[in-house]
Amino acid sequence: MEIARPYLLFLGDVPDDLAAKTAYGIVDWRRDWCVGQFRLPGCKADAEIPDMTIAEAVSAGARTMIIGVVNAGGVLPDHWVESIVTAIEAGLDIASGLHMRLGEIEAIAEAAQRCGRQLFDVRHSRERFATGKGTKRSGKRLLTVGTDCSVGKKYAALALEKGMRDAGFDADFRATGQTGIFISGRGVSVDAVVADFISGAAEWLTPAAPDSHWDVVEGQGSLFHPSFAGVTLGLLHGAQPDAFVVCHEPTRTHMRNVQHPLPTIGQVIEATIASGRLTNPAIRCVGICINTEKLDEAEAREICERTATEYGVPASDPVRFGVEGIVARIARDFPAS
């Protein structure tokens, strides 16, 4: 699956910013892939890129319209169908991260068939995965892991891809969730594959590569989250990372959507090494990314410094302070690459 670029971002008439999180993420990380946004009357979100009609977007070179929104239940509202059919008829492919498949809507399926356009449901991979083999592959891999879900693992991985490229590394972000897939144009939503194939999907996503190449893999869930730890473990085994970065949100009081307390960063390091060495005995922690959005500047600096001292690896907020320290640590720990 490779989604053609550039994109037109469809925001529909979503009621708030949160519903447009996917579109915002694409603009944050791949502004130059986006020709504009297409909004319906009443839309309360704004990705702060030019508003365009579908015809204007096609003239500007757009190849794919991305349904860059989420809504309750993952269902596509009926009143969006007309715009999607218009886009298909204007020559655009359509890509969606909703649970509901585009092809389940007859008017959309029919238009795509008639016009020879592609429909991408990025939550549902078309790939037929093998079960994981656990065999060591060439090339290097870094995985972001977390003390919880939604603590910034995707942002950390994207920041590390950028930082490593700036430092001369041959590095590619590998997406494991819908927003990441739009940002990289490929990937697999690992939480949507059949359970037997989690590690196999991760192996497919991060294939053998030259020894100096780094896959920077977006993590999912947490080994300590009672809902999703199975996905996290399968991804860890399949990605067989040489290096991992722990992501953490210091103001959170319990795991997302459940009542369990957060593990410490130290517990996550220990559990990741204990499980990860099954497929990569040399696995090591190379840094900690702290999401300090809710802290003031002084508090943010203090917690990064304190955490770095406590665990003996660089710690930073990748958005606020960058990832130079972590990239330098990777360069030091893996001198051949």
> What residues make contact with a second copy under the rule CB under 8 A?
131-135, 190-196, 198-200, 223-224, 226-235, 237-238, 257-260, 271, 274-275, 278-279
- In angstroms, the CA 229 to CA 280 distance is 19
CB of 291 to a second copy, least distance (A): 22
Q: Is the dihedral of CA 280, 149, 20, 291 positive or negative?
A: negative
7 in helix, strand or coil?
strand
Question: Phi and psi (nearest 5°) for 39?
Answer: -120, 145
- Residue pair 43/19 in contact (Cβ under 8 Å)? The answer is no
Q: How far is the CB of 109 from a second copy (least distance, A)?
A: 20
Closest CB to a second copy among residues 118, 275:
275
Least Cβ distance, residue 245 to a second copy (angstroms): 21
CA-CA distance, 69 to 84, in Å (whole number)? 14
Nearer to a second copy, 105 or 235 (CB): 235
User: Is 186:215 a contact under the CB 8 Å cutoff?
Assistant: no
Considering the complex, state which of residue 196 and residue 305 has its C-beta at the smaller distance from a second copy: 196
Compute the least distance from the CB of residue 236 to a second copy, in Å.
9
User: Which is nearest to 193 in space by CA: 121, 120, 123, 240?
Assistant: 123
Q: What dihedral do alpha carbons 111, 114, 116, 117 form, nearest 10°?
A: 0
Comparing CB distances to a second copy, the nearer of 260 and 301 is 260
Rounded distance, CA 118 to CA 59, Å? 19
Closest by CA to 80, choosing from 91, 94, 90, is 94
Residue whose CB is less far from a second copy, 22 or 189: 189
Q: Are 180 and 189 in contact (CB under 8 A)?
A: no
Torsion angle defined by CA atoms of residues 223, 224, 229 and 234, in that order, rounded to the nearest 10 degrees: 10
Please, what is the minimum distance in Å from the beta carbon of residue 14 to a second copy?
Answer: 23
Token couple for 266: 């130290």
Closest separation in Å from C-beta 254 to a second copy: 11
The least distance separating a second copy from the CB of residue 187, rounded to whole angstroms, comes to 15
Nearer to a second copy (CB atom), residue 175 or residue 231: 231
Taking the least distance from each CB to a second copy, the nearer of 213 and 260 is 260
We find the least distance from the C-beta atom of residue 294 to a second copy, in angstroms, to be 25
Question: What minimum distance in Å lies between the beta carbon of 279 and a second copy?
Answer: 5
Whole-angstrom distance, CA of residue 136 vs CA of residue 159: 26
Q: Give CB contacts under 8 A, 24+ apart, made by 111-116.
A: 111/84, 111/85, 112/88, 115/88, 115/89, 115/91
